[in-house]
């Protein structure tokens, strides 16, 4: 296990159109070692142990699924892989002692992100759902909507800038979403989680044009980056990875995928920054345990086969 330490530095519109409340019966809403040692001593002296933020990158092969457990015990699931990944996601959550999820986020309606929700919605409780609002004409998307209605899952359409209030110590903010995009990927919900001095950026399948907007509007710097669109060439521009400047980056993809993910130039951009690279294809499920000043990753970084650059900053 590798310990990475950071230097401490000083609305509803689309859903109402698709499935009115009267028909659905669904309530809609508007809307270094020394550091680790010191932290332990402070916890002992105060009589409390600092709780951790856990970010689980579930290996769903060619897709995304991220389970988050907050310090206060609440839970969030961001995407659920494709249809065949659903059973794996449900088992993973139940093995973790989870029977009901406090917050589900469906970043966009591509099957490799929402397909697994068909199993999740059938076999687990869901207290709230945040949806991108982007519609899609597929059987999987239609079944997704049907199960939301059948299970009366309270559903909200995401708005840029909104915060999800799950834990008072963790800020969860929507940095991007756009249901009016013609294509699904640029419509993706992008989330940033901030816990003390640690930041995690979850980029879903957002694309380069969205990255430019993100850089202009927000502080996107983060210690941990979920690499956008499985390492696609349409995302992860040099300007964006420079702005994020992550210490660790996680790729979620299938080793035998037909898309060439991750593309070598994206891997190189991150590796030449000195970023430690992790992959669900190489390591399987990856769990990152985070406290307010450091984090631990339960996997070894993989070697892409070329020379890394020095850490920037």
Give the span between the Cα atoms of 97 and 118, in whole angstroms. 20
- 206 alpha carbon, distance to own chain's centre: 12
pLDDT per residue as tens digits for the range 263-287: 889 999 999 999 999 999 999 999 9
Tens-of-pLDDT digits for all 313 residues of the chain?
444 434 334 433 344 444 443 333 344 443 433 333 333 333 334 445 679 999 999 999 889 999 999 999 999 999 999 999 999 999 999 999 999 999 999 999 999 999 999 999 999 999 999 999 999 999 999 999 999 999 999 999 999 999 999 999 999 999 999 999 999 999 999 999 999 999 999 999 999 999 999 999 999 999 999 999 877 788 999 999 999 999 999 999 877 777 666 888 999 999 999 999 999 999 999 999 999 999 999 999 988 876 656 655 4
Q: What is the pLDDT of residues 287-303, one digit of tens each?
A: 999 999 999 999 999 88
Q: Is the pTM of this model over 0.85?
A: no
Q: What are the tens digits of pLDDT across the range 20-44?
A: 433 333 444 434 333 333 333 333 3
CA distance linking residue 220 with residue 294, whole number of Å:
18
Domain boundaries, the chain: 51-296
Using CA atoms, how far residue 260 sits from 27, 218, 265, in Å, is: 42, 30, 11
Burial 149-184 (b: 16+ CB within 10 A, else e): eeeebebbbbeeeeebebbeebebebbbbbbebeeb
Choose among 306, 214, 294, 307: nearest CA to 248: 294
CATH T-level assignment (fold) for domain 51-296: Metallo-beta-lactamase; Chain A (3.60.15)
Q: Are 272 and 241 in contact (CB under 8 A)?
A: no
Residue 101, token pair as written in the block = 């999820």
Q: Tell me the C-alpha distance between 219 and 9, whole Å.
A: 14
β-partners of residue 75 are 69
């Amino acid at each position: 296990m590798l310990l990475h330490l950071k230097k401490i530095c000083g609305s509803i519109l689309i859903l109402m159109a698709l499935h009115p409340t009267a028909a659905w019966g669904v309530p809609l809403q508007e809307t270094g070692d020394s550091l680790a040692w010191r932290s332990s001593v402070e916890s002992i002296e105060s009589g409390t142990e600092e709780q951790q933020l856990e970010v689980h990158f579930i290996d769903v092969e060619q897709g995304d699924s991220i389970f988050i457990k907050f310090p206060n015990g609440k839970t969030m699931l961001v995407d659920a892989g494709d249809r065949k990944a659903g059973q794996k996601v449900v088992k993973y959550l139940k093995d973790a002692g989870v029977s009901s999820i406090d917050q589900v986020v469906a970043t966009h309606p591509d099957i490799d992100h929402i397909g697994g929700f068909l199993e999740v919605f059938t076999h687990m409780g869901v207290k709230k759902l945040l949806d991108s609002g982007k519609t899609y004409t597929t059987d999987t998307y239609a079944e997704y909507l049907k199960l939301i209605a059948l299970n009366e899952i309270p559903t909200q359409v995401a708005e840029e800038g909104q915060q999800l209030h799950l834990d008072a110590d963790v800020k969860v903010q929507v940095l991007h979403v756009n249901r009016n995009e013609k294509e699904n990927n640029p419509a993706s919900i992008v989330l940033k989680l901030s816990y003390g001095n640690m930041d995690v950026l979850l980029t879903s399948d957002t694309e380069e044009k969205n990255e430019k907007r993100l850089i202009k509007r927000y502080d996107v710097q983060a210690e941990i980056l979920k690499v956008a669109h499985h390492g696609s060439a349409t995302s992860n521009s040099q300007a964006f990875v420079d702005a994020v400047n992550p210490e660790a980056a996680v790729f979620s993809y299938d080793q035998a995928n037909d898309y060439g993910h991750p593309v070598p130039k994206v891997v190189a951009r991150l590796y030449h920054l000195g970023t430690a690279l992790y992959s669900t294809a190489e390591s399987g499920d990856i769990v990152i345990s985070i406290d307010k000043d450091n984090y631990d990753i339960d996997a070894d970084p993989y070697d892409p086969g070329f020379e890394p650059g020095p850490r920037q900053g």
